[in-house]
Structure 1
Amino acid sequence: MTSPSSTVPRTGSAALRPVLGVTLVAALGGLLFGYDTGVISGALLAIESDFHLSPFHSGVVVSSLLVGAMIGAAGAGGLADRHGRRPVLVTAAAIFTLGAALAALAPSAPVLTAARLVLGLGIGVASNLVPVFIAELAPPRYRGRLVGLNQLMITLGIVLAYVANYTLEDVTHSWRWMFGLAAVPALLFGTGMLLQPESPRWLALNGSPERARSILRRLRGHDDAAAADAELAAMTALSPVRRGPTASGGRWRALADRSVRPAVVAGIGLQILGQASGVNTVIYYAPKIFESGGLGSSASILATVGVGVVNLVMTPVGMAVVDRFGRRRLLACGAAVMAVALAGLAATLAAGGQDSSLAWLAVLCVVLFVAAVATTLNVVVFIIPSELYPQHIRGTAMSATMFANWSMNFLVSLTFLTLLDALGGPGTFTLYAAVCALLTLFTVRRIPETRGKSLEEIEREISRTAGATR
């Protein structure tokens, strides 16, 4: 017998237009993620001067965002599974607005630290739910590109933060304006989400199939009502035991269930290995890396700007191919290139030391690494988990996944300078290259291909795989 999901037609470009507007609004959460992450780089010097911060207290101000992101990511999924995706995203917009206002008006370093913690909560919620919300609304044929739009907006947010930092550098109380500007997209995000529909998948499995049908017909086009009805049938064909809200503790326990274990291992393993590859340390500490390779201070900053441009330009390239090339193949190829680039960087640092004749070869290795990250890892890191998890625990599973992401981000950022001091540049980047090689192997062995499949088809396939390995 043909499963209901197999009757869902592969939609054409007409199906993309109605859902694109919803995706763009939701992806404003990614823009805020990027802006609030990147703005501290330009604001910190002025903050240190105004509040007379020690290096330790500066670190507390910076890292409080990551702590908030861990908390926000951990808590968002259970709330979204109980109350829906849209209300929690609206709440995230309110958190972003409050955090921006509090940071802009902060009278002291402790208040600014608290404001950064609040902003981190918003980032944690957005990093968890924006990909899930988009994935649950998107047609299978375009799901990768649409979820990838979130990553593009994160990258754009970082660039906008750099532009704001540069533009406002000489303004009185510049850092307050830098933080306060984030309230504008936060208000747009909240207002826009109030006008968007709830996830039809969440509605279908929580007692509102007719509302789900109406939303699907609008998103897929009223002229293709049969396709929307077939898609709804595929959603509601899931086991009745899995429908409807369950206790939060039950959802967390469900992550250990044998039927979802392959998805959990793939999703969380990707976050741990992806962060352990050193991707963020290369971005955060690029000037220091270039200086250790022999470049002067000014040239190091210029090279870092170039790295940021490469990151922004290459992200749409990954978005353009992810639905054609496939998630697993794209990530495996990208991780292999990342390993080669970091091994080259380690060898260049070992051979060149402070000799500037090899410095630009180090820059080339970093650019190659960032280009590979932007076109592969950064594109799929949110797409893959948003597709893998079963509907009834998708939000909670994404909480566990993004908590792992932010925790590993915090740990790697915290230990990078210590590693650099203990192992030197060659040893540190050789270690990261080995992690990239491990990520390549993990991708081939543990991450299933999800390209072009409905979320229900993916759920069934993973459940069958789990059953076959018992």
Structure 2
Amino acid sequence: MTEAEAGRVNIAFIAAIVAVATIGGFMFGYDSGVINGTQKGLEAAFDLGKLGIGVNVGAILVGSSIGAFGAGRLADLIGRRSVMLLSAVLFLISAVVAGAADSSAVFIVARIIGGLGVGAASVISPVYISEVTPAAIRGRLSSVQQVMIITGLTGAFVANFALARYAGGSTASLWLGEAAWRWMFWLQAIPAAIYFVALLFIPESPRYLVVKGRAADAEAVLVRLFGTSEAQRKVAEIKGSLAADRHKPKLSDLIDRNTGRIRPILWTGIGLAVFQQLVGINVVFYYGATLWEAVGFSEDYALQTNILSGVLSIGACLVTMGLVDRIGRKPLLLIGSAGMAVTLGTVGYAFSTAVTAADGAVSLPEPFGLVALIAANLYVIFFNLSWGPIMWVMLGEMFPNQIRGSALAVAGFAQWIANAAISVSFPSLAVSPGLTITYFGYTFFAAVSFLFVRAMVHETRGRELEEMAG
């Protein structure tokens, strides 16, 4: 794009579209984070043990993995915006039913429904954003997704903290005689409704429209985004990138016709998706309050610590937005992997010093409580400076047009399966073999992720989507 053409880019319209699309990221974060702080309520209401807590917390991940896989393919059939609208409806249903659940079974079903929305939003929002933004600032705008995910998480943490403090505890009665933890879920209905209404005012992805043979509609959208001459050029580019594969996108496109093997670019996408979870970040997001209470923090202070982690995460993502289109994706991933390996190892060592008093209370001796807190928050910063936003940026842009929906379906499914494995296993692992060994395990995966990035990841900074090769 020339300097003159760049001047005709409708930045205000693009920013508005990105803002709406990333409400899906906010919902993703809120729905994932709201569980953090409700676990005492769930345990008391449904008489749950450690395994039961793990299943109820992890239920959303079952829906998320299905939603991510189905959304990628569904987006190729009915469009990116239509899938986001569906996810908004799922968020709304989940919020109402989860808060009203009178049994663990009903709650699990509600969380699976919410998970379908989370999974869909997690893979479609980045794709949509990458397909409507200029290459020069695509990384920056795609990173907004992670900012909104963390904002949603932090919003859930703040809401949980405020409701629990106002009621006198997460299990205490609040409005209409209902426990505070139920209101933590019901509040989610407000942003879900806003998301649905806002989506009605943004256009469909022009690349999807070209694939569907609606070139005139695609050009009309592109004119609003980039101006007339650039719109015509982009329509021609998109058509050219699809010329070798005139059939409708399908999962079998992920197999290289010449070799009969899965395309290497898909393995890279799966690796990025899985390693983002194997470093254990969602243990902090889902179990933060429980984790800090396990080493001697009060419920009130543990919830405040969650808020601190959320604020630091947002700050780190904002730094990434300023760097991703300047220094590139791969350098940030490498920095993040190295930083996470060091900080996770430090957290693991700090937890190894935990002592148990005669009354069974667990605490970290000085100065290791402070060391653990600082190292854990530095870990969160390194994650959100790198793997948090960059994984979503790359999955949204690294695949060729023909396979983007299918590849996102598979990579998104893998991401949520890894998320489920880490999240559901944590309560049991925290008991045996314990927090120290568990965190050293996450340290190992962070170190391996560094080697993976060096060997498998290729830079995509500044490249048009039509230039991506598989």
Partner of 2:14: 19
Q: Counterparts in 2 of 1:231-242, with a 5 A limit? A: 231-242=234-245
Q: Distance in 1 between matches of 2:291 and 2:45?
A: 29
Is 1:197 matched up with 2:203? yes
- Structure 1 residue 443 displacement after superposition: 1.0
How far apart are the structure 1 equivalents of 2:341 and 2:5? 36
Alignment deviations for residues 428-470 of structure 1 (CA, whole Å, 9 cap, x no partner): 333322211211121122111111111011x2xx34xxxxxxx
Matched, 1:434 2:444: yes
Query: Aligned to 1:235, what secondary structure does the other structure show?
Result: helix
User: How has the CA–CA distance of structure 1 residues 257 and 234 changed in structure 2, closer, same or farther, with 3 Å as cutoff?
Assistant: farther
Render the CA deviation track for 1:165-188: whole Å, top value 9, x for unaligned: 233332131333322222222222
Which of the numbers 310, 313, 316 marks the counterpart of 1:314? 316
Structure 1 pair 369–228 and aligned structure 2 pair: CA distance change class (3 A): same
**Matched residue of 2:450: which SS?**
helix
Residue 296 of structure 1: how far off its partner (Å): 7.2
Mapping 1:364-443, distance limit 5 Å: 364-443=374-453
Unaligned 5+ residue runs, structure 1?
1-5, 464-470
Q: Considering fraction of residues, name the structure with more helix.
A: 1
Counterpart of 2:442 in 1: which secondary structure? Answer: helix
Q: Name structure 2 gaps, 5 residues minimum.
A: 168-173, 356-363
Shift of 1:23: 0.9
1:190-210 deviation digits (Å, cap 9, x = unpaired): 222222111101111221111
Instruction: Judge conservation of contact 1:8–1:230 (CA < 8 Å) in 2.
Output: no
1:263 and 1:63 mapped to 2: Cα distance? 29
CA contact (8 A) 1:27 1:150 kept: yes
Other-structure match for 2:62: 67
Distance (whole Å) between structure 1 residues aligned to residue 31 and residue 183 of structure 2: 13
Instruction: Give yes or no for the alignment of 1:37 onto 2:32.
Output: yes
Letter in structure 1 aligned against 2:395: P
How far does residue 217 in structure 1 lie from its aligned partner after superposition?
0.8
Q: Could you tell me whether the CA contact under 8 Å between 2:90 and 2:116 is conserved in 1? A: yes
Partner of 1:263: 265
2:142 counterpart of 1:140: no
Amino acid at match of 1:431: G
The answer to which of 70-79 and 174-183 deviates more is 174-183
Q: Mean Cα displacement is larger for which, 98-107 or 297-306?
A: 297-306
Aligned length: 451
**Structure 1 length as normaliser, TM-score?**
0.88
C-alpha contact (below 8 Å) 1:30/1:130 kept by paired residues:
yes
Q: 1:467 matched to which residue of 2?
A: none
2:149 maps to which residue?
A: 154
1:113 is matched with which residue: 108, 114, 120? 108
How much has 1:371 moved relative to structure 2? 0.7
Q: State the alpha-carbon separation in 1 of the partners of residues 336 and 423 from structure 2.
A: 22
Q: Secondary structure at the match of 2:326?
A: helix
Task: Give me the CA root mean square deviation.
Answer: 2.7
Rate the CA distance shift 1:109–1:350 in 2: closer, same or farther, 3 A: closer
Q: Tell me what 1:79 maps to.
A: 74
Q: 1:18 and 1:344, CA in 2 relative to 1: closer, same or farther beyond 3 A?
A: same
Separation of aligned partners in 2, 1:299 and 1:84:
44
CA 231–404 in structure 1, closer or farther in 2 if over 3 Å, else same: same
The aligned counterpart of 1:164 is 159
| Mean CA deviation greater in 175-184 or 200-209 | 175-184
Q: Does 1:453 align with 2:463?
A: yes
Q: Distance in 2 between matches of 1:330 and 1:374?
A: 10
Partners of 1:61 and 1:251 in 2: how far apart? 36
Give the drift of 1:302: 4.6
Report which stretch shifted further, 396-405 or 107-116: 107-116
Whether the aligned pair in 2 keeps the contact of 1:145 and 1:323 (CA below 8 Å) is yes
Alpha-carbon distance, 1:326 to partner: 0.5
Distance 1:351 1:405, change over 3 A: same
The reply to whether residue 123 of structure 1 matches residue 129 of structure 2 is no
The answer to which of 87-96 and 275-284 deviates more is: 275-284
Q: Distance in 2 between matches of 1:260 and 1:15?
A: 39
User: Structure 2 counterpart of 1:235, which letter?
Assistant: I
Deviates more, 1:295-304 or 1:415-424: 295-304
Letter in 1 for 2:252: G
Instruction: Provide the C-alpha distance between the structure 1 equivalents of 2:257 and 2:102, rounded to a whole number of angstroms.
Output: 43
Q: Give the drift of 1:279.
A: 1.9
User: Per the alignment, in what secondary structure is the counterpart of residue 59 of structure 2?
Assistant: helix
Give the counterpart of 1:93 among 83, 88, 97: 88
CA displacement at 1:417 relative to structure 2: 4.2
CA contact (8 A) 1:97 1:183 kept: yes
Give, in angstroms, the shift of residue 271 of structure 1: 1.4
Q: Deviations over 1:14-41 (max 9, x none)?
A: 5432211111111111111111111122
Structure 1 residue 299: Cα displacement: 5.7
Does the CA-based 8 Å contact 1:141-1:323 persist in structure 2? yes
1:219 to 210, 220, 225: 225
* Map 1:267-346 → 2, pairs under 5 A: 267-286=269-288, 302-346=304-348
Q: Percent identity?
A: 34
Q: Find the counterpart in structure 2 of residue 245 from structure 1.
A: 248
Alpha-carbon distance between aligned partners in 2 of 1:396 and 1:55, rounded to the nearest angstrom: 37
Deviating above 6 A after TM superposition, structure 1's stretches of 4 or more consecutive aligned residues are 6-10, 254-260, 291-298
TM-score, scaled relative to structure 2: 0.88
Q: Which deviates the most, 225-234 or 427-436?
A: 427-436
C-alpha distance 51-343 of structure 1, shift in aligned 2 (>3 A): closer
2:230 is matched by which residue type in structure 1?
Answer: A
Aligned partner of 2:360 in structure 1 is none
Distance in 1 separating the partners of 2:281 and 2:398: 23
Q: Residue deviations 1:249-294, cap 9 Å, x none?
A: 5346569977972321111101112211122224444456556777
Contact preservation (8 Å) 1:271, 1:404: yes
**Equivalent residues of 2:130, 2:396 under 8 A apart:** yes
Q: Which amino acid aligns with 2:57?
A: V
Cα deviation 1:74-115 (Å, max 9, x = unaligned): 111111112211111111111112222222333433222211
Match of 1:360 in 2: 370
